[in-house]
Each structure stands twice: as structure tokens, then as C-alpha cells.
């Protein structure tokens, strides 16, 4: 059991109607939270995939900017693809999603949020959990700080960083 912040700390749960914003969060959306040191947890559904995490602890764990920089390093075409996907998503009504999947995502996100608010570090801290239909098998992917991200999480000494 890992100890987290003192109970009563604030938390923003980011659950956008557009599932693409949960899958590939826009760093600009969370910039004020990162600057203010406000923890935030991403959750959402993109088509047949449910997502919970990462729980971002500004200055200590990876943020949306870290995730975006990692993807750009892995695939230089990522920014162009993301612009195309976001453009297509803006032109259509909010996509329907499976009610069972949405319920599972909401339940897991709520459990992680309550755990954090109770002073624990939930499994979504510095990690993303994904489950796809039809199997709904949850898989964890670590989300690591990027050295070039202005959030400065990559500069936290290893012994102070949240274990992954």
C-alpha cells in the first residue's frame, strides 16, 4: 500500500464527451491545473475502448504534454494524424458508446478518485488502464515523464517519483 497526499486534497476528473480527448488529451486543456499543482485524472470511452488514467500529480508524474511528446518521438507523423482525427470528431455529433463499457470506466475512475481523495495512490497514478470490447480485459500501461516537457516531472529524483 502506497501512501499518497493528505485526505481532502482536490482532484479534477477529466471525462470529456469526445473520447478522443480522453485517449489523446490536449496538453493545453490541463495547463492551468499543471501550473496550479492540481491533480487530475483522465477517463473516457473512445469507440470500443475504455480509458482510465493517468492520474497526474503535477511536477511528480507524467502529464498530457509528456504523453504527447512520447508519441511524437515514436511517430513523427503523430501531430498530423491527431489534427485529422480531431477535425473529423468536431464535425460529428458525440459518438455513442457501449453503456456497459461506459459504466465500467465510470466505476473504475470513481474508485481511483475516491482512493486518491482518501490519501492513497491508486493504480492509475502514472499509468493508464485500457479495456476494449468485447473482452473488457483491463491492461495497464505506464506513463513516464518526458525530459523535454515543461511540467518538470522528469526532473524529480527517482527515489521521490511515484513507483511505476
Predicted confidence (pLDDT) at residue 160 exceeds the cutoff of 60: no
Which of these ranges, 13-17, 72-76, 156-160, has the smallest mean pLDDT?
156-160
What is the pLDDT, as a whole number, of residue 94?
A: 66
pLDDT, tens only, 54-105? 999 999 999 999 999 999 999 999 889 888 887 776 666 666 788 999 999 9
Q: Does domain 12-155 have CATH number 3.40.50.620?
A: no
Phi, psi of 41 (to 5 degrees): -125, 125
Question: Is 29's pLDDT higher than 80?
Answer: yes
Q: What are phi and psi of 141, to 5 degrees?
A: -125, 120
In the predicted model, is pLDDT for residue 144 greater than 90? yes
What whole-number distance in Å separates Cα of residue 127 and Cα of residue 125?
5
What pTM does this model have?
Answer: 0.85
Q: Above 50 in pLDDT, residue 31?
A: yes
Please say if the pLDDT value at position 128 is more than 50.
yes
Q: Pick the residue with more confidence: 158 or 94? A: 94
> pLDDT at position 38, please?
95
- Please give the Cα distance from 65 to 126 (Å, whole number): 13
The CA distances from residue 9 to 67, 136, 149, in Å, are: 24, 31, 25
According to DSSP, the β-strands at 40-46 and 49-56 are antiparallel
The residue-averaged pLDDT of 110-139 equals 95
Element (H, E) at 76: none
Of the candidates 37, 73, 24, 26, the residue with the CA atom closest to the CA atom of residue 151: 37
Per-residue pLDDT at 7 exceeds 60: no
Dihedral over alpha carbons 157, 158, 160, 164 (to 10 degrees): 140
Please say if the pLDDT value at position 36 is more than 80: yes
Residue 22 contacts residue 46 (beta carbons within 8 Å)? yes
Half-sphere exposure of 60 (CA within 13 A, CB side): 18
Amino acid at each position: 500500500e502506497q501512501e499518497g497526499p493528505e485526505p481532502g486534497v482536490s482532484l479534477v476528473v477529466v471525462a470529456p464527451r469526445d473520447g478522443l480527448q480522453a485517449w489523446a488529451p490536449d496538453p493545453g486543456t490541463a495547463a492551468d491545473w499543471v501550473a496550479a499543482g492540481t491533480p487530475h485524472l483522465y477517463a473516457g470511452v473512445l469507440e470500443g475502448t475504455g480509458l482510465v488514467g493517468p492520474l497526474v500529480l503535477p511536477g511528480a508524474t507524467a502529464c498530457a504534454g509528456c504523453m504527447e511528446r512520447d508519441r511524437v518521438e515514436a511517430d513523427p507523423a503523430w501531430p498530423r494524424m491527431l489534427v485529422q482525427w480531431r477535425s473529423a470528431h468536431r464535425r460529428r455529433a458525440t459518438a455513442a458508446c457501449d453503456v456497459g463499457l461506459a459504466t465500467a470506466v465510470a466505476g473504475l475512475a470513481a474508485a481511483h478518485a475516491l482512493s486518491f481523495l482518501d490519501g492513497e495512490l491508486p493504480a492509475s497514478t502514472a499509468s493508464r488502464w485500457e479495456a476494449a470490447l468485447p473482452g473488457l480485459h483491463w491492461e495497464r500501461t505506464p506513463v513516464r515523464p518526458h525530459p523535454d516537457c515543461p511540467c518538470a516531472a522528469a526532473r524529480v529524483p527517482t527515489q521521490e517519483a511515484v513507483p511505476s
